[in-house]
A = this chain, B = another copy of it.
């Protein structure tokens, strides 16, 4: 696969150039270095454009003299995030190299607003790299949440599941290699056997196989991605990637990221009915009384209690 250790070393050894573009010292230090995720995956910063100041610059052209009242940049960025003035955040762009299991890639690609170049198993041969969860991440199907997991398997059960997953992965890859019948340069391993087309042989690999891609997205769309994928309801295997990217984003545009945390990630929505309950509570009533007399469904009642009574 691309970006071997040698290529990485060459990139890291490359002398810096001088630029008058916005530059973020905290990101320069992280350029090109793979951040490990899962057992074989990584997130690697390849390029970026813009910073907190670029957001402010774009907002000031839009809102003109109007923005002078918000004196400091941090305040203006928080104002933009709070009031969903999202276009200035589009002025920043980030490009990452990501290695991830195919079932994660399938969720990820549903975010249509990014640019992607993925490693193609039509053209090239996939390495023998598949995802095996760590034992603690193997969990039973949740009974309350159809798309979630519950408590982890006990260690013996986990070991059995991992054996099964590993054995199947090893077997399908060995058959994939047999079908390809290719020493890597187009020469057959077994001259008596056919070399099946790569675009067909790949169908024998499982969804746990690793793929990789370049992924480029602007900061507005990245925040949308993060808000869905950092969420506790997101699948663990994509959440760990989102968390690695969130760390990079915090270093890249700290004021924007803080605003994202305050006004998106840790914010809550109140529906029309929930809002009128909260107004009644503010006016002196009790939450339980108001919830009971409301038209909320049982599920919404539970959700509202979770929102308003759990620790912040």
Contact = CB atoms under 8 A, between A and B. Distances in A.
B64 A120 contact: yes
A140 B62 CA distance: 21
A136 interface: no
Q: Which 8 A-B pairs have the closest CB atoms?
A: A64-B124, A90-B115, A266-B272, A149-B197, A203-B208, A49-B49, A17-B23, A66-B146
A310 to B, nearest CB: 8
B165 A120 contact: no
Interface residues of A, number: 143
Interface string A280-301: 0111000100000000010110
Nearest to A3: B61
B267 A269 contact: yes
Contacts of A17: 18-21, 23, 25
A92 to B, nearest CB: 9
Interface in A12-35: 14, 16-23, 25, 28, 31-32
Copies of this protein in the complex: 4
Contacts of A148: 197, 199
Interface string A110-149: 1011011111101111000001010000111111001111
B278 A308 contact: yes
Interface of A: 1-3, 11, 14, 16-23, 25, 28, 31-32, 46-50, 54, 57-66, 69, 75, 79, 82, 84, 87-88, 90-91, 93, 95, 97, 101-103, 105-106, 109-110, 112-113, 115-120, 122-125, 131, 133, 138-143, 146-150, 153-154, 157, 161, 164-165, 168, 171-172, 175, 178-180, 182, 186, 193-200, 202-209, 212-214, 216, 218, 228, 235, 261-263, 265-276, 278-279, 281-283, 287, 297, 299-300, 307-309, 312
Contacts of A139: 196-197, 200
Most B CB contacts (10 A, CB to CB) among A202, A278, A287 go to A278
8 contacts: A63-B147, A90-B216, A140-B194, A140-B195, A161-B179, A164-B175, A263-B269, A270-B270
A158 to B, nearest CB: 9
A47 to B, nearest CB: 5
A241 to B, nearest CB: 15
A77 to B, nearest CB: 13
A202 to B, nearest CB: 6
